[in-house]
Amino acid sequence: MRLATWNVNSLRARMDRVLEFMRRSEVDVLAVQETKLADAAFPVQPFEELGYQVAHHGLNHWNGVAVLSRVGLDDVQRGFPGQPGYGDPAVVEARAVSALAGGIRVWSLYVPNGREQGHPHFDYKLAWLKALGEQVSGQLAADLDAALVLAGDYNIAPTDADVWSVEYYADKTHTSPPERAAFQGLLDAGLSDPVRAFTRAPKTFTYWDYQQLRFQKNRGMRIDFMLCSDAVRDRVSGASIDRDERKGKGASDHAPVLLDLLDTAPPTGNAR
């Protein structure tokens, strides 16, 4: 089974590219972020014509997340218990949706950006991640064999190797100690980053800003992840970042991340 995650930065603007990517990549389950669509405006039919079922969570023209699956789609959950809101009054934004797809609970997550250190949105980001970690811990405590994939745009580069310049980001969000500690909290809750083992080349990123020829100069960040529970990690057979999708006219500023799974885990003696 092949899973993928992609922040498309407006599905309306990238629709043709997304459909072509799905045809070309033979992806079975795609987690999408930043659809920037309300549920009523989501273009379900083109995906159904390709054989995909759709679970979308969008409230307006901001945020928006989706899980698209051609291996089944059941028990859709929008948001998660304890998910904090933002603003006054606090609004629980459309940043999380999950469904059972091919026997795996796949989450599509769009973690708050944080804007800048000291901003209320930064505190919101940390609270959001804390609540997500508590949700994961609870699920895995109840079922150690739970098959989970938390796919999405985390807006965190967890190590210095995940940014083009440590100095550039020294006083910015995405690399601060509190954010990295929050990401580590998800790993401590029982998740792992299997993509890293397949993308160890220097300067392997998933996001490049549109400004200042960042993509052409490969001045990017690795902030898109597919964090997996052990039950999924042991089935991983490959992973890649489709950098070509960041090229050309009308590209998103993110590239898709792909994860390939075996039908079953290998024998215990051969498992990673």
Q: Which residues are annotated as a binding site for Mg(2+)?
A: 7, 34, 153, 155, 253-254
Feature table: binding site? 7, 34, 153, 155, 253-254
In the set 110, 124, 154, 207, the catalytic residue is: 110
Give the neighbor-by-neighbor strand order of the sheet with 104-110.
74-78, 96-101, 104-110, 148-153, 224-228
**DSSP three-state, residue 263:** coil
> Does the annotation mark 124 as catalytic?
no
**Catalytic, out of 153, 193, 230, 234:** 153
Catalytic site includes residue 153: yes
What is the 8-class DSSP label of residue 264?
S
| C-beta separation of 130 from 185 below 8 A | yes
12: part of which helix (H) or strand (E)?
A: helix 11-25
Hey, what are 157's tokens?
């580069």
Q: Is 254 a catalytic residue?
A: yes
Half-sphere exposure of 19 (CA within 13 A, CB side): 13
- Can you tell me the distance from the alpha carbon of 8 to that of 209, in angstroms, rounded to the nearest whole number? 13
**Could you list the active site residues?**
110, 153, 254
